[in-house]
Amino acid sequence: MSFPLELRYQICMQPIELPVFNSVALELLQLLADQDVAMEQVIDTINKDQGLAIQILRMANSSAYTGRYKSDTIKESVNRLGARQITSLAMAASQAALHHSSDPLVHQIMQGLWQHSHACAVGCRSLAGAVGSRDLTEQAYLAGLLHDIGKLYLIKAMERISLDPANQCSLDLETVLDVFSDMHVEQGCRIMDYWDIPQRYCQIVAHHHDDEPDPDDRLLTIVRLANFNSVQYGLNLYPQYVQPEDTLSEVELLGASEDVLARLETDMKAACA
């Protein structure tokens, strides 16, 4: 650790309620942990936040999702795409809105985090479908989207600290990257537990940098492969902190062919176009 212990202390003292989740999107994610949730309950939850509902409808009608028909209402979108895919769109739309700041450096970092998270989400869904795990596609999307949530919390915490005159703390990129490297997994787990995120995604946050990951955890393997390859595709601002050193084991575990990896690159780059 090359940043001051005082900064670590100040970060750990920041409120866990810092905005890293939209409350309605979070409620949807928690609802979907129940396999028997009613479609009407999903629709009613989305309609609690009209701004989010508009964003979901816009994304659902984008070229990536429309197919032959467009939807005029949230109910039509849910019926057409399904509750799980709509929940993925809700989380993505709400996360995009949270990666903004009036501070130029913080904004630049947040935009880089969003680019990486969104690319990984799209890449994870692409991989899951391509390697015979279509049942995991929406879980993979959300796992990719949320795996670095600790970094969003940390940059918001550091921004808050820097704005407090009593702390006499200014931000620079090197310090931010050191904090990310040292703390993003532990803080990611902390906020996932606090907000009662389904355990499946908490496990991804906790283990996506493990030296010896569980080879039987297919979702984790998918996230690790997309996360690593984001460096090769120029979609990660912080490549020096990415593990593993290579993804030969992940490629082998998934049975990912050269064609699958080529498609992964295309899809992840398209997500940031």
- What pLDDT is recorded for position 231? 86
pLDDT at 1 over 60: no
Summarize pLDDT for 140-175 with one digit per residue, the tens: 999 999 999 999 999 999 999 998 887 777 788 889
Name every residue whose Cβ is closer than 8 Å to that of residue 94 and which is 6 or more positions away in sequence: 21, 22, 24, 25, 52, 55
CATH class of the structural domain 100-273? mainly alpha
State the residue for tokens 């032959």: 68
| 8-state DSSP, 63 | T
Q: In the structure, what pLDDT confidence band is assigned to residue 214 with cuts at 50, 70 and 90?
A: very high
Cβ atoms of residues 191 and 153 within 8 Å: yes
Token digits for 37? 């949730």
Cis bond upstream, residue 215 (ω within 30) = no
Confidence of residue 17 (pLDDT cuts 50, 70, 90): confident
* pLDDT for the residue 213: 92
Domain boundaries defined on the chain: 21-98, 100-273
**Who contacts 24 (Cβ-Cβ below 8 Å, separation ≥6)?**
45, 46, 48, 49, 52, 90, 94
CB atoms closer than 10 angstroms to residue 96: 15
Cα 136 to Cα 44, 73, 92, 113: the distances in Å are 25, 27, 17, 24
- Terminal C-alpha separation, the chain: 35
Q: Quick one: DSSP state of residue 239?
A: G
Exposed e or buried b for every residue in 74-92, given b needs 16+ CB within 10 A?
A: bbbbbebbebbbbbbbbbb
- List Cα–Cα distances, 214 to 158, 189, 195, 204, 221, in angstroms: 33, 18, 25, 11, 8
3-state secondary structure of 165: helix
Q: What is 136-147 written as a DSSP string?
A: GHHHHHHHHHHT
Whether pLDDT at 241 is above 70 = no
pTM: 0.90
CA distances 6 to 9, 13, 181, 187, Å, are 5, 11, 17, 16
For residue 154, the model assigns a pLDDT of: 96
96-121 confidence digits (pLDDT tens): 999 999 999 999 999 999 999 999 99
* Better-predicted residue by pLDDT, 243 or 144: 144
Give 37-62 pLDDT, tens digit per residue.
Answer: 888 898 999 999 999 999 888 888 87
Q: Range with the lowest mean pLDDT among 25-39, 56-70, 131-145?
A: 56-70
